[in-house]
Amino acid sequence: MAVDLFSDVIDSMRTGRKSFCRTRGTGRWGRRLDAFSGTGFHVVLDGGGWLVTPSAPSAPPVRLGAGDVVFVPHGAAHGLSGTPDRPFAELPAAPDALPPQDPGAPYADVVCGAYRLDRGRAHPFLLGLPDVIHLRAGRHPAMRTLVDLLAGRPESGSGAGAAVPALIDLLLVHLLRAWHDDAGPPAAPDDPAIATALHRIHHDPRRRWTVEELGAEVGMSRTAFARRFTSLVGLPPMTYLTNQRLNHGARLLRETDAPLASIARQVGYGSEFAFANAFRREFGTAPGRYRRRERALGGDRPGTAAQPG
């Protein structure tokens, strides 16, 4: 059941803009990453450094080594540094990389990726995770394979537009699985009824679901189902369904040239006007304007310069 939820998380994240970059730092290098709406990660390919958060001194810097991964599920502020003596507030917003003073000076080669969301609509499951998660090298071999692929400069050459987004998706899946393995299963997948309801919503968002119908699908009364779903997922069933429909609609706007009427039908709205009104309420802009803005921003182009997480 956990895999179903993780697929649901990935699907919701795909509505955001993916970014990917690689940073090499030497000497007293560092970078501050302020809070943002979305999910990000850093992978240390070579060398090492320190993970710094605004919570110091209660949360001291964490040593990072080659192969380590920093996972930021919901965009919390954090920083990376070549040395442990630079507090978060003193790290630069743009990465600095001073020349090494000697061959033994701190060095790091880091790959960073992110999904940037509009209006802070992170998946409820991600909001329940810790602000910053440190995964040590060697514990998850499959993730190491993906890291090696990212290190091979997939952002250049033919097929880069498909390769990088696919690798970022796969790495996020493995990050979620790794956290699941280390910390134990999240609440919702352990509840077969709620996991089944999530599966129904995810795979058939165009159906005109009601709370009664979803409850009947899993053998529960309307009241009992609504209460359990809200408790475990963090949103009432119909709010969650609306979010899924609009998330899917946003993705179709960004990734296809389908007309609004077609997108409206695909995500469960009876007309393009109903879809447009709901989309405007959620995203603060009309679907057509959203599509034009996303195309102007460059969508999921690999190598987009953005704070990665």
Q: What is the pLDDT, as a whole number, of residue 185? A: 44
Q: What is the pLDDT, as a whole number, of residue 277? A: 95
Q: What is the pLDDT, as a whole number, of residue 2? A: 44
Q: What is the pLDDT, as a whole number, of residue 45? A: 86
Q: What is the DSSP string of the chain?
A: -HHHHHHHHHHHHTTSEEEEEEEEEESS-EEEE---SEEEEEEEEEEEEEEE-TTTTTS--EEEETT-EEEETT---EEEESSTTS-GGGS-SS-B-PPPSSTTS-EEEEEEEEEEPSTT---HHHHTS-S-EEE-TTS-HHHHHHHHHHHT-TTSSTTHHHHHHHHHHHHHHHHHHHHHHHH---TGGG-HHHHHHHHHHHH-TTS---HHHHHHHTT--HHHHHHHHHHHHSS-HHHHHHHHHHHHHHHHHHH----HHHHHHHTT-SSHHHHHHHHHHHHSS-HHHHHHHHHHHTTT-TT--S---
Question: What are the phi and psi torsion angles at 255 (to 5°)?
Answer: -105, -10
Tokens (6 digits) for 47: 């060398």
CATH 1.10.10.60 residue window(s) in the chain: 191-297
User: Does domain 191-297 sit in CATH 1.10.10.60?
Assistant: yes
Q: What is the pLDDT, as a whole number, of residue 154? A: 61
Q: What is the pLDDT, as a whole number, of residue 101? A: 52
Count of C-beta atoms within a 10 Å radius of residue 17? 19
Class of domain 2-183: mainly beta
Q: What is the pLDDT, as a whole number, of residue 286? A: 93
Amino acid at 219: G
Q: What is the pLDDT, as a whole number, of residue 306? A: 32
Q: What is the pLDDT, as a whole number, of residue 188? A: 44
Q: What is the pLDDT, as a whole number, of residue 51? A: 94
CATH 2.60.120.280 residue window(s) in the chain: 2-183
- Which residues of the chain carry a pLDDT beneath 70? 1-5, 8, 14-15, 95-104, 118-122, 138-139, 153-162, 181-190, 297-309
Q: What is the pLDDT, as a whole number, of residue 287? A: 93
Tokens (6 digits) for 277: 């009104």
Separation CA 71–CA 179 (nearest Å): 9
Is the Cβ–Cβ distance between 38 and 116 less than 8 Å? yes
| Full-model pTM | 0.66
Is the Cβ–Cβ distance between 12 and 74 less than 8 Å? no
Give 47-81 pLDDT, tens digit per residue: 899 999 998 777 789 999 988 889 998 889 999 99
Q: What is the pLDDT, as a whole number, of residue 119? A: 58
